[in-house]
Structure formats: structure tokens, C-alpha cells
């Protein structure tokens, strides 16, 4: 297992192969990931603990889902999205292996462009 510190908390990568990646995102209450999309990366989220808002679409046409423990969401490539922690939240993410495939559109921590989430 590999822990990756993030400005919003951290992620624990527990599986990484040439075909898939499994990780747990630990997002602190009130923090958010960047508004982003992926060109190739296909991912599915499962909320383990806590509550988060999942913002979908461009800011001008934003829709928001509230996800609680047991809720899932499949995020296909090209989907603009952002996770916002209402409480401390743990999210299991299973994805294809393109970890660097992140196009940031907006970020509260000053990170820009294409990089790792």
C-alpha cells in the first residue's frame, strides 16, 4: 500500500496493476478535489464513510449529488466532476490505471493544468 498526501487529505493506493487501480480517498470535512475531467481514466466511486457532494458538469450547468455510505457513482471519461466533503469522508475509487490523466478546470489549492489529482 502506498499513501499519497494531498492538500485535501490523502489517498491510500491499495492495488495498482497495468489494468486497474484501487484506492481510498480520505477527504477532510470542508475540503474538495479539483473540478476536473479525465481523457481516458474510467472510475467508479463508493462512499465508505461520511457524506460528500459530487458536483457534475461545467459550472454553468452544475448538478450536485449528495452521496452517503453505500452510494456509488460511475464517472466515465470526459465527465467533469468534483468531490466536496461535507463531513470527513472515505471514498473507495476503482479505476483504469491512468493516474496522471487529470485535466484541472478549477482548484482551491492553486494547482493548475494537467497533473495528478
| Phi, psi at 86, each rounded to 5° | -80, -45
**pLDDT at position 59:** 84
Residue 7 has pLDDT above 50, yes or no: yes
Classify residue 116: in a domain, yes or no.
Answer: no
Name the residue among 46, 5, 57 with its Cα closest to residue 22: 46
pLDDT per residue as tens digits for the range 59-90: 899 999 999 999 999 999 999 999 999 999 99
Cβ count within 10 A of residue 13: 15
| CATH number of domain containing 13 | 2.60.120.10
Classify residue 47: in a domain, yes or no.
Answer: yes
The boundaries of the domain holding residue 34 are 2-106
Classify residue 38: in a domain, yes or no.
Answer: yes
**pLDDT at position 65:** 98
User: Whole-structure pTM over 0.75, yes or no?
Assistant: yes
Classify residue 111: in a domain, yes or no.
Answer: no
Three-state DSSP class for 89? strand
Classify residue 56: in a domain, yes or no.
Answer: yes
Average pLDDT, the chain: 94
Cα 18 from Cα 63, distance rounded (Å): 33
Classify residue 99: in a domain, yes or no.
Answer: yes
Cα 10 from Cα 90, distance rounded (Å): 10
pLDDT per residue as tens digits for the range 48-61: 999 999 999 988 99
pLDDT tier at 110, thresholds 50, 70, 90: confident
Residue 116 has pLDDT above 70, yes or no: no
Classify residue 114: in a domain, yes or no.
Answer: no
Residue 8 has pLDDT above 80, yes or no: yes
> DSSP letter string over 35-86?
EEE-SS--EEEEEEES-EEEEES-GGG-EEEEE-TT-EEEE-TT--EEEEES
Per the structure, how many domains does the chain have?
1
Classify residue 58: in a domain, yes or no.
Answer: yes
Amino acid at each position: 500500500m502506498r499513501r499519497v498526501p494531498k492538500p485535501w487529505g490523502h489517498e491510500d493506493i491499495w492495488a495498482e496493476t497495468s489494468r486497474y487501480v484501487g484506492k481510498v480517498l480520505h477527504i477532510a470535512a470542508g475540503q474538495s478535489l479539483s473540478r476536473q475531467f479525465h481523457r481516458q481514466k474510467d472510475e467508479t466511486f463508493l462512499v465508505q464513510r461520511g457524506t460528500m457532494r459530487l458536483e457534475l458538469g461545467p459550472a454553468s450547468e452544475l448538478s450536485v449529488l449528495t452521496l452517503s455510505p453505500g452510494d456509488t457513482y460511475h464517472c466515465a471519461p470526459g465527465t467533469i466532476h468534483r468531490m466536496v466533503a461535507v463531513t470527513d469522508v472515505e471514498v473507495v475509487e476503482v479505476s483504469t490505471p491512468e493516474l496522471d490523466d487529470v485535466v484541472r478546470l478549477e482548484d482551491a489549492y492553486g494547482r493548475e493544468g494537467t497533473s495528478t489529482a
